[in-house]
Amino acid sequence: MSQERLGHIACPREQEIVDLVVSGRWSDDDDLRAHAAECAACGETLELARLLKDDHKALCEKAPVPSAGAVWWRATIRARAEATRTAGQPITLLQGIAAATAVGLFVGLAGAWWRSIGSGDVWLERVDELVSRSVSVPAAVSLSLLLVLAACLIVAPIAVYLATADEP
Amino acid sequence: MREMTLSELSRLDAAASEADEAFQMDEDAFRLFYERTARPVWAYLARMTGDARQADDLLQEAYYRLLRAKAPYDSDAHRRNYLFRIATNLVHDIRRRPRVDAVPMSDEMEHADPRQTDAAGHAARRVDLSRAMAQLKPRERELLWLAYAQGSSHQEIAATLRLKTSSIKALLFRARQRLAAVLRERES
């Protein structure tokens, strides 16, 4: 690019030049060609537009693009994998809740059983006493806690069954 | 981990069918659109990243995102602009975490066909352009490519690059001057 053709001031006809170069009709317009030979900004625009357009054309010709079918197929596979993963999330969540409920239930039952058989160990009695004192909750609250626990005892097996059972 | 039950499998199968329907065009429409746009998009990605292999990967990703997008399109041109916007975003993402196994464009794509009469000169000009473009800011590269190689209007460029239409002219002018200056430096 020659120094004397530095395009320091924008020309209103630059876009016309770009449009003609891009559409491949540059050689059709003698008037604009004459203008570009005189106008520094348009001359620079013309040179760069030609250079970039040639490069674009060459790259497009050699572009190693896969077939539309291959791109579609890969997209389908990926969308299915993503949908499967998304659909699997609630199931995993439900399994987690069921497992946590089962563990809580087991611990609760084990504790109740331990109390019912009445341990003779002194240290366990002390722990029991300590827990009883620290958890000095009002009767209404303890009643609602008992109701929630009972509800869990009924709902948890049903939830586990629904999460794991096969449909007929 | 336990095996999946039949009910879970059927639920997942239904989800897979929904995934097929989640695409915003059918296969025939996609094929037509792809045939018209794949090469220009690849060229854009290749020139913006300077890496042919990355352009291959990003091409697939760009079409996938387009298919999954929920955007409503007024026309094919609108859809095309949206595709270029996706491609631009992908290039920006890649720039934040560059690949270690990049394949420079000059290694694969810049060699001219020896049967061409002015093959050497043509190839040299393209290598010069490629190196000059690499010295520009990403935004300048995008502007110049979209305007001069793609022939996009200022409105389309603004939509693709998320810029104001009124600022495109000035930005493009500065980018053009910068490319011309870099090319002059290379020549001298």
Residues B106-152 have pLDDT tens digits of 544 555 554 555 667 777 888 888 899 999 999 999 999 999 999 99
- Please name the residue of chain B whose CA is at the shortest distance from the CA of residue A167: B7
Using alpha carbons, list the distances in angstroms from residue B153 to B68, B135, B146. 26, 24, 8
Average pLDDT for chain A? 78
Nearest residue, CB atoms, A71 vs list B2, B11, B63: B63
pLDDT of residue B30: 93
The predicted-structure confidence for A137-148, as pLDDT tens digits, reads as follows 566 666 777 778
- Angstrom distance (rounded) from CA A51 to CA A108: 79
Report the DSSP beta bridge partners of residue B51.
B104
Contact B140, B179 (CB under 8 A): yes
Q: Using H for helix, E for strand and C for coil, what is the string for A31-64?
A: HHHHHHHHCHHHHHHHHHHHHHHHHHHHHHHHCC
Q: How far is A57 from chain B (nearest CA, A)?
A: 8
User: B104 has which bridge partners?
Assistant: B51
| Phi, psi (degrees; rounded to nearest 5) at B91 | -65, -40
Average pLDDT, chain B: 83
Could you tell me if A85 lies within 8 Å of chain B, comparing CB atoms?
no
Is this structure's pTM higher than 0.90? no
Interface contact A8-B43, CB threshold 8 A: no
Residue A167's pLDDT band (cuts 50, 70, 90): very low
Q: Nearest-CA residue of chain A relative to B141?
A: A52
The answer to whether A9 contacts chain B (CB < 8 Å) is: no
Is the pLDDT score of A164 beyond 70?
no
Phi-psi region of B162 (alpha: psi -120 to 50; beta: other; left: phi over 0): left
Cα–Cα dist B157/A126, whole Å: 77
| Residue B170: C-alpha distances to residues A7, A38, A48, B75 (Å) | 13, 22, 16, 28
Å from B116 to nearest chain A CA? 12
Q: Do residue B42 and residue A58 have CB atoms under 8 angstroms apart?
A: no
Secondary structure of residue A8 in the 3-state scheme: coil
How far apart CA B111 and CA A58 sit, in angstroms, is: 10
